[in-house]
A and B are shown apart, each in its own frame.
Chain A
Amino acid sequence: MNSIAESRADRIFNRINVFLMVIVTLVFLYPLLFIVSASISDPDAVLRGEVWLWPKGFTLVPYVKVFQNSEFFLSYWNTIAYTVVGTLVNVALTIMAAYPLSRKDFYGRNVLTVLFTFTMFFSGGLIPLYIVIQKLHLLNNFWVMILPSAVSIFNIIVTRTYFQTSIPEEVYQAAEIDGCSRIGVLTRIVLPLSGPILAVMVLFYGVGHWNSYFNALIFLNERDMFPLQLILREILVQNDTQNLMSSSSANYIIDSTQYGTSIKYAVIIISSLPVLVLYPFVQRYFVKGVMIGAIKG
């Protein structure tokens, strides 16, 4: 392509395009950069609106204040627990559904696929689900954060498609002629060949758990079980930074007006940190996942 000389119109197009893309990139990047800068800047400078891009002054006090708060810490730990256990359950169930459905000789796969997929387009709604959860005595239970979102049909379809397209039928036949059981084929052949899709699933489900707040909002009311996002909601949305201030301190009100905004920025950073730190390393897996999904559509 490079061998063909570009026309004048194309050169103009390219310049405009590059210019547009730089602007678009800045639009995506700027808010994130601003939050980082503001969180480590002098709180007064932030309040006066002097921070535009680079930090003004330097302080880690907002971070210290956040880390001194035991409730925040506990919720952080809760979220880690929900994310780890939840993701394990998610991935296990996804494989358990995707592998049988990927086998062409699995009698009933069409019926089951329709049965599963239908839930994507129609649901009982919030209240009937709530009644079911209540009946199962799952309210205020650790497992209510895991079970109601135990598997996603979309991810099942993506995984099934991966199994079907990346592992040739002959491999199955060869293994089974050699006396490998169906489960043996799964553990010895399919799973070792499915590293990329498993990584994708772990990431999709993991981020989902990390970021979710709604199930916790309706199904949990004991504060020491709250996940991070619910505590974040109190701090960021309900504007309740007092909780984070050491209530023993006499300058508690001064604290909250002075540090309130900075603490919000710090909280945003701390809560998004795991995702944002891992993100550059794993984003190609995410992209891969979407592309596998796109094959099937």
Chain B
Amino acid sequence: MKYGDDITSEARKVNPVAQSTADSPLSPENASSPLRTFFQVRFKKMRPNLSLYLLILFPLSYFLIFCYWPMYGVQIAFKDFYAIKGITGSPWAGFKHFETFFHSIFFDRVVWNTVKISFYSILFGFPAPILLALLMNELKSRFFRKVVQNISYAPYFISQVVMVGILLVFLSPTNGLINKIVEFLGGNPIAFMMEPGWFQSIFVSSGIWQGTGWGTVIYMAVLAGVDHQQIEAAILDGANKWQRIWHISLPCIMPTAVILLILSSGSIMNVGFEKVFLMQNSSNMEASDVIATYVYRKGLLNIEYSFATAVGLFNSVINFVILVVVNAFARRAGSTSLW
């Protein structure tokens, strides 16, 4: 901070000619206007890093074009969008589309499915990596620990398409592995992917299979940083492993866990759309239709742009509110928060 500023400001004090040439292109007349000083002060601060502004212009334009431009376009949720008239030219429609959505027969279904799937994913998916990390951390053989870690990471790198493909083959009612086992145990084959009742369990458990190992990475890193003296002192005081996990390891990873919990609560309405969409079929719609797939269907298949945008906006706003509320709650309850 100091360094760059010092050099330039000093150079200006010493050399008034340099100052006038540097400032002249900005505004030649009206030397004392407040607006001019406003820009002058800022330009002075930016000057040493001009090349860096040029660099950041590229990522900045990405964010402006592909993130903020769509945010500007969100106004079509309050309009009747016609492609010919464009975003600004289309007439305002107020909260019409929101009301249609709230009164739609699909409202309860998509909202509840979204919330339920996310809730179960967090309820089971959040503690799983903590548990696995705590147990892996207690393994005495370094080699065995490495083996377990590396194997547990692997499923994370399988694509969602392949993951759902694997589910379909394994759960196939005619020759799937799982149904072979069911038959072996004397049951009748179950068409898992067709039954709405099975959808959430399959979604959540396959998510755990894929994500738990990878989820431990961060906790293992924290656990590796636990002070050894603390553990040794606990051993000398006669604490057994279980007590050491409970009183040392667990408190150590709590702050990290809380941050991750806040983050996942912020996406509670963003269920893994890619996977839901792949697992969806006409028979399990009752359980698999979520807000995101509804937006896709209405917007891109039925071309109801404004309505779909309104549904999507409803989703984003709820998400954002939940994030802010949970974060505020966490800050009040403990000391960890996102901001």
Contact = CB atoms under 8 A, between A and B. Distances in A.
Interface string A92-129: 11101101110111111000100110010111111111
Interface string B154-166: 1101111110111
Contacts of B161: 211, 213, 229, 232-233, 236-237
Interface in B288-333: 292, 295-296, 299-300, 305, 308-309, 312-313, 315-316, 319-320, 323
Given A29-B151, A150-B66, A265-B169, A13 B45 contact: no
A279 B154 contact: yes
A279 B157 contact: yes
A50 to B, nearest CB: 10
Contacts of A280: 150
Nearest to B266: A121
> Dominant SS at the A interface?
helix
Interface stretch (B20-28, B100-108, B112-120, B236-244): B236-244
Nearest to A213: B161
Nearest to A289: B217
A47 B175 contact: yes
Interface of B: 1-5, 42, 45-46, 48-49, 51-53, 55-56, 58-60, 62-63, 65-74, 76, 87, 132, 135-136, 138-140, 144, 147-148, 150-155, 157-162, 164-166, 168-170, 172, 175, 177, 180, 209, 213, 217-218, 221-222, 228, 231-232, 235-236, 238, 240-242, 256, 259, 266, 273-274, 277-278, 292, 295-296, 299-300, 305, 308-309, 312-313, 315-316, 319-320, 323
A128 B73 contact: yes
Given A99-B52, A213-B160, A294-B222, A105 B59 contact: no
A67 interface: no
Given A236-B162, A290-B218, A128 B76 contact: yes
A297 B153 contact: no
Contacts of B238: 7
Contacts of B177: 34, 49
A83 B83 CA distance: 33
A1 B231 contact: yes
A108 B46 contact: yes
Contact of B62 (A29, A150, A275): A150
Interface residues of A, number: 99
Contacts of A191: none
B300 A93 contact: no
A264 B73 contact: no
A132 B169 contact: no
Contact of B151 (A25, A35, A93, A148): A25
A210 interface: yes
Contacts of A116: 59, 63
Contacts of B74: 124-125, 128
15 contacts: A101-B56, A103-B52, A105-B4, A115-B60, A119-B67, A124-B70, A127-B299, A128-B70, A131-B305, A210-B159, A213-B160, A218-B300, A229-B159, A272-B157, A294-B222
A4 B239 CA distance: 12
Nearest to B296: A126
Contact of A151 (B49, B59, B73, B299): B59
Given A25-B147, A34-B177, A237-B161, A122 B320 contact: yes
A100 B45 CA distance: 14
A9 B240 contact: yes
Interface in A203-236: 207, 210-214, 218, 229, 232-233, 235-236
Contact of A237 (B147, B150, B170, B278): B278
A182 B66 contact: no
A107 B164 contact: no
A112 B56 contact: yes
Q: Which 10 A-B pairs have the closest CB atoms?
A: A124-B70, A236-B165, A125-B312, A128-B73, A211-B159, A97-B59, A128-B70, A105-B4, A100-B52, A107-B45
B165 A268 contact: yes
A27 B209 CA distance: 8
Contacts of B169: 236, 261, 264-265
A32 interface: yes
Q: Which residue among A21, A239, A264 has the maximum number of chain B CB atoms within 10 Å of its CB?
A: A21
A31 B166 contact: yes
Given A14-B140, A100-B53, A105-B5, A93 B154 contact: no
Contacts of A115: 60, 63
A291 interface: yes
B139 A13 contact: no
Given A125-B312, A129-B70, A268-B165, 14 more contacts: A1-B231, A32-B155, A103-B49, A123-B67, A124-B73, A125-B70, A125-B313, A126-B295, A131-B87, A151-B59, A176-B3, A183-B52, A237-B278, A291-B217
A294 B53 contact: no
Contacts of B278: 233, 237
A280 B135 CA distance: 23
